[in-house]
Amino acid sequence: MLQVVCVKQVPDSDTRVKVAADGRTLDPNGVTLVLNPYDEFAVEQSLRVKEALAAGEVVAVSLGNAGVQTTLRNVLALGADRAIHLKSDTPAPDALAVAKALAEAIKGLDAGLVWLGKSAIDDDGAQVGPMLATLLGRPCVTNVCKFELAGNVAKVEREIEGGREQLEVPLPAVFTTDKGLNEPRFASLKGIMAAKKKSIEERPVDLGAPNVERLALELPPPRAAGRIVGEGAGAVAELVRALREEAKVL
Amino acid sequence: MSILVYAELRDGAVRPVTREALGEAKRLAATLGGPVTVVACAAADASFAALGEAGADKVLFAQHAAFARYDSAGHAAAVAAAAKAVGAKAVLIPASAAGKDLAPRVAALLGVGMAGDCTALDASGGKLVATRPVMAGKAYEKLAFPLSPAVVTLRPKNFAAAAPEAGKAAAVEAFAFTWDAAAPRAVVTGVSGESGGKVDLTEAEIIVSGGRGLKAPEHFALIENLAAALGATVGASRAVVDAGWRPHGEQVGQTGKTVSPKLYVAVGISGAIQHLAGMSSSRCIVAINKDPEAPIFKVADYGVVGDLFEVVPALTDAIQKLH
Ligand SMILES: Cc1cc2nc3c(=O)[nH]c(=O)nc-3n(C[C@H](O)[C@H](O)[C@H](O)COP(=O)(O)OP(=O)(O)OC[C@H]3O[C@@H](n4cnc5c(N)ncnc54)[C@H](O)[C@@H]3O)c2cc1C
Ligand SMILES: Nc1ncnc2c1ncn2[C@@H]1O[C@H](COP(=O)(O)O)[C@@H](O)[C@H]1O
């Protein structure tokens, strides 16, 4: 079975946000780009399925500028077989534009499983997966934290408020992965060497007109300075008083 | 023209997030115009007329036997059809586990973009502008919608429910929509609760979170006791989740849940940037940490420097005495 894993390159989670001069985008200076953490679970799960079936191929797909090839190379080092780079020099305007480009690339691939992260930690969108599934007309489960394949049906779980949902899904299908699904592996030296010889196919894409338009990117208003109410258990009385009388939260 | 609200149901009952979405829809209707229409996807009527009191003018009841539980594909088909049928300018969906799954599907079916997990909506200029956090709250973006309808999900606890209009009933209409339930789709086969009636972190008024400062999983009893005294939900840092002390569902932060309760108590948590990203929009933050230099004190409204093993039991005691 062929599997596709969609991966995004994002600023790492240590990034301190500075807004660029245009007032609408992140200042890229000093930002380290990494594989989106949720996509690590997607990559790992695709590899586990391939290993369990002892067959098939994992194709990594990423949309972005020339820089995303570093991330694709990392995913190849983890064990993906080949990669498709959907090349666009302008940043993707919104999730629907990304989902359309991914759908176009995946349509021709006869993929039994398509994997994505539950959300990208830069836009926190959590949109591309379910949009892609809808465009492909395939079943979809978001935020999967448990996955089991029984023939042509996947048995999965996702977290909901105060509990978990169990679902059954016929393949081909699309899944977005949540933390807890698996423990992602690290690339081995052998994997890193092997990745150098794997192919990254470059395809230029046109993302079209924006479906949503960003007017501004702003920093949150700074929090008013707080205070240390005291030390040790002796501070408890003053803390409780402050919470009741000043903050009025008790 | 209308503003459409997706009614989130659980076990047949309307969840509080639906009232928040209805409250916002009513406010938007004042500037954007149009009635507020609710689309309720359910297997049976659950006194939907009563949604009138929360702000609904009309309820479209999309009835299907498969809708006894959340159905991703079916609900998306019904909501998209309802948006077309009423000529919706905006589709408001709670940013719950179901709503976050649903909204992108609805947007894709309608061929429009969307804004998820919004913390504010503004229509004062005659056009909708959505504010939403990005990078786990380290920044906020403002989005406009070149296409119609604007599909948005609303972060729980950020929008006020409308003051109930006693006795106002909404007109409930059966809504016919086409959807092929026989096509391959994901089907919910079961739901298991972690603990009966526990309030989810994203909806909690008060959260008590514990970190590595607790030193061992059994010491989380201290956190649970304080949470019980406060009527709070328990959260955790990633360090203790990764160590297997606490379940993933309790993690707060960039790769966990983003929360904005009225009171957040951080116990033995250093305040790494990834943790702060998930909780710094809380209304009031309390930190208990033995290290006066811990970064958590930079965002805390009230800090107690001290050994949590002394401070937390004393605080639990003091809270219990309040009742
Ligand atoms: C990609 C990525 C994503 C991440 N996502 C998240 C996330 O979503 N959420 C998250 O929380 N972290 C996240 N992290 C991890 C984060 O960087 C920190 O490692 C983590 O938050 C630390 O957890 P902690 O505060 O419990 O532990 P520590 O940093 O070890 O802090 C323990 C604190 O307890 C205090 N303490 C110790 N003993 C006592 C005592 N007796 N009494 C009082 N105080 C005491 C110490 O002074 C210290 O401040 C992420 C990291 C990365 C790289
Ligand atoms: N530019 C991209 N290229 C490939 N996959 C992407 C891209 N953007 C988003 N994705 C996938 O969609 C998931 C959700 O992204 P988002 O909807 O932006 O939060 C990510 O975790 C990726 O798996």
B256 lines ligand 1 (CB under 6 A): yes
Q: Which band of pLDDT confidence, cut at 50, 70 and 90, is reported for residue B11?
A: confident
Please name the residues between 230 and 289 in chain B that touch chain A, using a CB distance below 8 Å.
230, 248-249, 251, 254-256, 258, 262-263, 273-274, 277, 280-281, 283-286
What's the mean pLDDT in B98-120? 97
Is B225 domain-assigned?
yes
Percent of chain B with pLDDT over 70: 98
Q: Answer yes or no: is the C-beta of A120 below 6 A from any ligand 2 atom.
A: yes
Q: B86 and B9 in one domain? A: yes
Q: Is A184 in the pocket of ligand 1 (CB under 6 A)?
A: no
Ligand 2 near A46 CB (within 6 A):
no
> Both B232 and B170 in a single domain?
no
**16-75 in A: which are within 8 Å (CB) of B?**
16-17, 19, 26, 37-38
| Interface mutation target, options A118, A127, A181, A246, chain B, most CBs of B under 10 Å | A127
Indicate if B167 and B215 belong to the same structural domain.
no
Tell me which residue in A213, A220, A247 faces B146 most closely, judged by beta carbons. A213
Cα distance between residue A5 and residue A115, in whole Å:
5
For A150-206, write each residue's pLDDT tens digit: 999 999 999 888 789 999 999 999 999 999 999 999 999 999 999 999 999 999 999
Q: A3: distance to nearest CA of chain B, Å?
A: 18
The answer to whether residues B33 and B165 belong to one domain is: yes
**ipTM, two decimals:** 0.94
Task: Specify the ligand 1 atom closest to the Cα of B294.
Answer: 49
Residues B73 and B164 in one domain: yes
- In chain A, which residue's Cα lies nearest the Cα of B144? A213
A205: Cβ–Cβ under 8 A, 6 or more apart, which residues?
A63, A86, A87, A88, A101, A104, A105
Closest ligand 1 atom to B210 CA = 26
pLDDT one-digit tens code per residue, B273-323: 999 999 998 999 999 999 999 999 999 999 999 999 999 999 999 999 998
Measured CA to CA in angstroms, residue B7 lies from B176, B192, B277 at distances of 17, 22, 29
From residue A59, how far is each of A36, A84, A141 by CA, in Å? 17, 7, 20
Which of the four pLDDT bands, split at 50, 70 and 90, describes residue B197? low
Same-domain pairing of B253 and B148:
no
Residues of A in contact with B142 (CB under 8 A): 214-218
Ligand 2 in reach of A39 Cβ (< 6 A)? yes
pTM, two decimals, is 0.94
Angstroms from A145 CA to nearest CA on chain B: 9
Q: Quick check: A210 pLDDT over 60?
A: yes
In a domain, B191, yes or no: no
CATH of the domain at B159: 3.40.50.620
Rounded distance between C-alpha atoms, residue A8 and residue A39, angstroms: 7
* Residue B38, domain member (yes or no): yes
Chain B residues in contact with A11 by the CB 8 A cut-off are 135
Angle, helices A68-78 vs A37-53, to 10°: value is: 40
In a domain, B26, yes or no: yes
Residue B15 lies in a domain: yes
Beta strands in chain B (DSSP E): 2-6, 9-10, 13-14, 36-42, 58-63, 88-94, 114-118, 120-122, 129-134, 139-144, 150-154, 171-174, 187-193, 206-210, 233-236, 263-267, 284-289, 302-305
Number of domains forming the structure of chain B: 2
Q: Are B164 and B276 members of one domain?
A: no
Could you tell me the CATH number of the domain that includes residue B206?
A: 3.40.50.1220
Do B70 and B163 lie in one domain? The reply is yes
Residues B211 and B132 in one domain: no
> B100 with B162, same domain?
yes
In a domain, B188, yes or no: no
Domain-wise residue ranges, chain A: 2-204, 221-250
B109: closest CA of chain A, how far (Å): 7
pLDDT, tens digit, 9 for 90 and up, residues B147-177: 999 999 999 889 999 999 999 999 999 999 9
Element (H, E) at B166: none
- Give the distance (Å) from ligand 1 centre to CA of residue B308: 15
DSSP H helices in chain B: 16-32, 72-85, 97-110, 220-230, 238-242, 273-279, 296-299, 308-322
Looking at the structure, tell me whether residues B229 and B147 fall in a common domain. Answer: no
In CATH, what number does A2-204 get?
3.40.50.620
Given a contact cutoff of 8 angstroms between Cβ atoms, the answer to whether B101 and B14 are in contact is no
Residue B189: inside a domain, yes or no? no
Instruction: Say if residue B35 is in the same domain as residue B120.
Output: yes
- Per the structure, the complete domain to which residue B52 belongs is given by 2-174
Q: Is residue B163 part of a domain?
A: yes
